[in-house]
Amino acid sequence: MIITLTANPSLDRTIELAAPLARGAVQRATANRQESGGKGVNVCRALSAGGAEALAILPGHEDDPVLTGLHSAGVPYRNLPIAAALRSNVTLTEPDGTTTKINEPGPALNQREADALIDLVVELSDDARWLVLAGSLPPGLAPDYYAEVVRAVRNRHGDRAPLIALDASEAALIAAIENNAAPDLLKPNAEELSQLTGLGVGDSLEDQQDLAVEAATRLLARGVRSVLATLGSKGALLVTADGAWHAQHPPITAISTVGAGDSALAGYLLAQTRGASAPDCLRQAVAHGSAAASLPGSTVPALHQTTPDAVTVRVLASTHASPNHP
């Protein structure tokens, strides 16, 4: 079982434009779609589409459109009832794949609701293999909320605690690393790696790789076991105590990049839970992310829509550490 926590879920509306976005003008859309979203929800949707046993945990009233959307899609979930409506996000996609997102802040959670959400995660993570903490935090939650979740789960379950994957940004990301709650798997992009370590992003692929490997290595020294860094069209990196690898898919026609990183994380977890090696976990992550980017809106790919055999994986570095990786 893989469990995901989405503290700030959303109803994601994607509007496809027939021409480049023109500020101040009136434009007609060629298509639109609506899906339940938020990073953890997207990961759970992709895991379910890949045949994994997964469960999404999120706040929201039972009749909220986000939850009814999950029910209609057959995605398992457990919700913490709250009175306020969940947020909506709007994405505009242009013909060349350029994506513009407008994200609402989401409803505020009070302390009682915040604590109850942690209790629900602790309860349902018993016997889970992975716990994924993903996405932004809603108003009312402190930046170290994910760190609180990690400590609560590990304190309750001890050696039986699930492996923990974290995909967050800005203050929530920094707080988790700095509050003795390092995840087993961290999934940043290049900008988020820079936020964590102060290293630059780099312009060329070679510079990005060098900086990302250096940044990930610093994070390993702070307790993170594996770093899966997505680099957009330039592929992704995986850095563990055993080494570092870069993987890239042949060029695709990008329709929407919304949720591509979430699908990449799901692809990694699908491969890892089936016993794949570190390079093959990275291969499936890139295959999933590329497939997602070629689909409209925040549509997640099924396994048969991914092409891992087309992904090229290169070894960048290696160590003599234990061969285990999460």
- Which token pair is 58? 């999120």
Cβ atoms within 10 Å of 11's Cβ, excluding its own: 22
CA 88, CA 8: separation in Å to the nearest integer?
A: 10
Which tokens belong to 142?
A: 């402190």
State yes or no: is 119 an active-site residue.
no
149-168 burial, b for 16+ CB within 10 Å, e for fewer? Answer: bbebbbeebeeebbbbbbbb
Instruction: Quickly tell me which residue has 């790696």 as its tokens.
Output: 193
Contacts 24+ apart (CB under 8 A), 317-325: 317/213, 317/239, 317/243, 317/244, 318/242, 318/243, 318/244, 319/241, 319/242, 319/243, 321/240, 321/241, 321/242, 322/241, 322/242, 323/242, 325/225, 325/226, 325/240, 325/241, 325/242, 325/272, 325/278, 325/281
d(C-alpha 248, C-alpha 237), whole Å: 9
Q: Which of 144, 262, 280, 309 is catalytic?
A: 262
What residues are annotated to the active site? 262
